[in-house]
Each structure stands twice: as structure tokens, then as C-alpha cells.
Amino acid sequence: MTDAFEPVLPETWPPPVRTRTNPWHLVLAAVAGGALVGALWVGLDLAGAGAPISPPGTSGEAFDLRGTFTLNSGGYGYSTCGGSGGYSDITTGTAVTVYNAAGTVLSQGALGTGRPNGAGSCVFTLSAPNVPAGEKFYLVEVSHRGRIMVQPEDARNGNVALSLGS
């Protein structure tokens, strides 16, 4: 009874049929694949366009970091002030750089005009535009004077107060 279910194999196998692929079929397949990927990309981008705006202070929003920078023992003139000697790099327009915890530059701004504050001190406005929200903390550096950690609430609310000198 087992003999009845065994397959019967032909004595000779036919040769395999080889067909040539038309090169235009390959081009058409590549173009169709590219169009499909492009359509998916655009569709996914449009799907995200209607996403709700993040609440204030979250990662989807940028803010302008603002505050003051006080230079103690600086020199000053009649209406403006700035550093002298070892502090000569501190003046109106000095670079302000904002970093994240990983050390990536998030924004670059500058010191504003300094105002004398008695006893040789100058107080400058400090600003850096379009700082991305959502970091655990920010590192702010004026000129090359070292990075100072600033809490996100202080950065967003304009409560950054840095100082240099004795």
C-alpha cells in the first residue's frame, strides 16, 4: 500500500527556461519604489503637522534666554563700561553661548550695553535667542570664562544672573 503514494519522477528533467529582463522594467520598478517612499515620507510629515502644540516649558518650544552679567573690578567710562586688563574681553557684544548637558551648542547671543553699578562694577544685559526648551539644565558661557549651570525655570523666566571678578 505504500507503493501507491510514492511520487513518480520523470526520467529526464526539462531544461530551465531563461528569460531576459527588460532593462526598462528595472527602471520602472526603481521609479515606482522611489515614488512610494516619497509618498510615505510626505504622508508621515503631514500627519505630524496637525500635532498639538506642546505646553509651555516643554521640548517643543524655544525661548529667549535673558538675564544680567555683572563684572566686578571693571573699568568704565562716562556712559558705558567694560572690562580692562585681564577682563578686557568683557564688553558690549561679547559672545554668550548656551550649551546642553552633552556640550552641544544650543544658542549664541551677546552681552548688551554695560551700565556702571558703583565701586567699579559693570552690569550688562545678557541674551541668547531661540534656546530649545526641555533640557534638564543649561550651561551658559560668557566669552571663554567657563560654563555656569542655569536651571530651566531661571533660563525661561529671565532670571539668569552671572558675575565675574571679586
| Residues 89, 43 within the same domain | no
**Of 50, 70, 86, which one is at a domain's C-terminal end?**
50
Phi/psi region, residue 119 (left: phi>0; alpha: psi -120 to 50; beta: rest), is left
> Is residue 110 in some structural domain?
yes
Beta strands in 91-143 (DSSP E): 95-99, 105-116, 122-132, 138-142
Contacts of 25 (CB under 8 A, 6+ apart): none
Give residue 137's domain range.
62-164
**3 state DSSP class of 92:** coil
More confident residue, 138 or 32: 138
| Residues 69, 148 within the same domain | yes
Give tens-digit pLDDT for 40-83.
777 777 766 554 444 444 455 899 999 999 888 655 544 567 77
Q: Do 95 and 150 form a contact (C-beta atoms < 8 A)?
A: no
Bridge partner list, 114: 124
Read off the CATH number of the domain in which 103 is found: 2.60.40
- Residue 53: the pLDDT is 46
Answer yes or no: is pLDDT of 121 > 60: yes
